[in-house]
Amino acid sequence: MADAKLKKAKVIFVLGGPGSGKGTQCEKIVAKYGFNHLSSGDLLRAEVESGSPRGKELQAIMEKGELVSLEIVLALIKDAMLKLVDKSPYFLIDGYPRELEQGTRFEAEVAGCHVVLYFEVTEEVMKQRLLKRGETSGRADDNEDTILQRLRTFTSKTEPVIKHYADKGKVIKVNASGTIDEVFGVVQQEFAKREIK
């Protein structure tokens, strides 16, 4: 059931392949606009850090570059949203929905989707950025084998999500191959066009 408290939430799904710059751009958006930011990957990594048996299962799936179960991610996001709902009506939901059913379940049980912010960049650029991030990130999934699998998962599971929302006219497609500030410049222009502020 949708929680009444979340009825006014303006949800921005932030999508893009691994290494497209979702987290980086969300940080810049938060600094300028004060929106709430939730990353499904960060929520899952926090669960892994807790050392729980469920955390161990999650880690194994993430190291294979696959998607964890919808129920787990949806519950984590919904709980986190309830804690932030009084801060700002806007929510950047980073890395979710990664498959079609995640989107439909979220919209039925949490809140509607205002827009999708999609960062588009070539696989080669994503791969290079992730290998570089892997030098310092400590993330078990920033290695060549897992990166290739994550790119495949993105193509097979997440691209259809982007198409689904594009057909509804909800996708803001941003070329994410420029510098961080160039990409953020485009994000700001696109937000202004839609009176997102």
Ligand X SMILES: Nc1ncnc2c1ncn2[C@H]1C[C@H](O)[C@@H](COP(=O)(O)OP(=O)(O)O)O1
Check the CA dihedral 120-121-122-125 and report its sign. negative
Tell me the CB-side half-sphere exposure of residue 3, using CA atoms within 13 A. 14
- Scanning 5-13, 16-24, 61-69, 99-107 for contacts with ligand ADP by CB under 6 A, the matching segment is 16-24
Q: Which residues make up the interface to Mg ion (CB under 5 A)?
A: 22-23
Binders of ligand ADP in range 63-122 (CB under 6 A): none
The item of Mg ion, ligand X, ligand ADP, none sharing an interface with residue 183, based on CB under 5 to 8 Å by kind, is ligand ADP
Q: Does 180 bind ligand ADP (CB under 6 A)?
A: yes
Q: Contact at 8 Å (CB) between 67 and 103? A: no
Q: Which residue, 52 or 189, has its beta carbon nearer to ligand X?
A: 52
The item of ligand ADP, ligand X, Mg ion, none sharing an interface with residue 129, based on CB under 5 to 8 Å by kind, is ligand ADP
Q: Which helix (H) or strand (E) holds 55?
A: helix 53-63
Q: Which residues make up the interface to ligand X (CB under 6 A)?
A: 18-19, 22-23, 39-41, 44, 62, 65, 67-68, 73, 95-96, 98, 102, 141, 150
Residue 30: is it exposed, middle or buried by C-beta count within 10 angstroms (0-12/13-18/19+)?
middle
Give the whole-angstrom CA distance, residue 62 versus residue 58.
Answer: 6
